[in-house]
Structure 1
Amino acid sequence: MSGAYAVLHDPQGLLDAELPLDRAPHEALVTAVLAWKNPDLAPRDYQQIALQLTGHARALAADVARHAAALPRNDGRGALADVVLREADGRLSVPLQGTARCVQNRARLVQALYTRLDRLTGPASAAP
């Protein structure tokens, strides 16, 4: 049946919580993208890379939000995570473009989310 789709209802976010992030290849992609000087790719190639980074950023933001929600209210790491998550929401709402700049912006977002995740999952003394 073409054109048919199913809507997934997962209000507790259990499916996301069970899927580990595939960090190494995404960090390698971020490193490569941020090292670009004058890339000469087709717009569709930029869009594919941006889509990959966008999907990972969304999963990563959900992971950051879960870890932040588990912190005590007086833990400042949660407040900093909220700032990063608001910034991520704003940046992810910008439509994708087939440009190196768009891809690099998504790569910086993934990098920022991993930095925040590491600070949430590390020892409290490692904050902010």
Structure 2
Amino acid sequence: MSNTRTVLHDPDGLIEAKLPPDRAPYEALVTAVLAWTDPDLDPHDYEQIALQLTGHARAVAANVRHHAAALPKNDGRGALAEIVLREADRRLSLPPTGTAHCAQNRARLVRALYTRLDRLTEPAPATT
């Protein structure tokens, strides 16, 4: 087994934007995490769930950023996407902790990013 690894440098998120993440398993995870009322997991389990959701949130945020950048400047959906992306950047700058609260916050973030992505990928509203 080799102890070497390759680091991918993609500062513009172009690879993530071109490879849409597999949405269904993460939506199921988000639904399950948000349904918790009194979970009794080990802190490491909470941390692993939060890390999974963090990585996925970053991928979806890159996708949102890519679609928002392609919009005309006068399209209000881009401005709303920027607000969601700023909040995502703020939340993702905090390290995940081994708590249910942290995992649920990451799940809410993934849900908000998917909501915004759906708004960006639907046809623009007709103007009269």
TM-score scaled to structure 1, two decimals?
0.91
**Aligned-pair CA distance for 1:8:** 2.1
Contact 2:53-2:110 at 8 Å conserved across structures: yes
**1:3-34 alpha-carbon deviations (Å, 9 max, x no partner):** x4433233553322332211111001100100
**Aligned-pair CA distance for 1:80:** 0.4
2:81 aligned partner: 81
Contact 2:65-2:81 at 8 Å conserved across structures: yes
**Aligned-pair CA distance for 1:67:** 0.1
**Residues 4-13 or 81-90, more deviating:** 4-13
1:62 aligned partner: 62
2:99 aligned partner: 99
**Aligned-pair CA distance for 1:61:** 0.2
1:34 aligned partner, one-letter code: L
Note the 1:1-128 alignment, pairs <5 A: 1-2=2-3, 4-125=4-125
**1:38-94 alpha-carbon deviations (Å, 9 max, x no partner):** 000000100110010000000000000000000000000000000000000000011
SS at match of 1:125: coil
Contact 2:67-2:121 at 8 Å conserved across structures: yes
**Residues 88-97 or 60-69, more deviating:** 88-97
Percent pairwise identity: 74
Q: Which runs of 4+ in 1 moved over 6 A?
A: none
Q: How many aligned residue pairs are there? A: 125
Cα distance in 2, alignment partners of residues 30 and 68 from structure 1: 24
Which consecutive unaligned segments of at least 5 residues does structure 2 have?
A: none
2:66 aligned partner, one-letter code: R
**RMSD of aligned alpha carbons:** 1.6
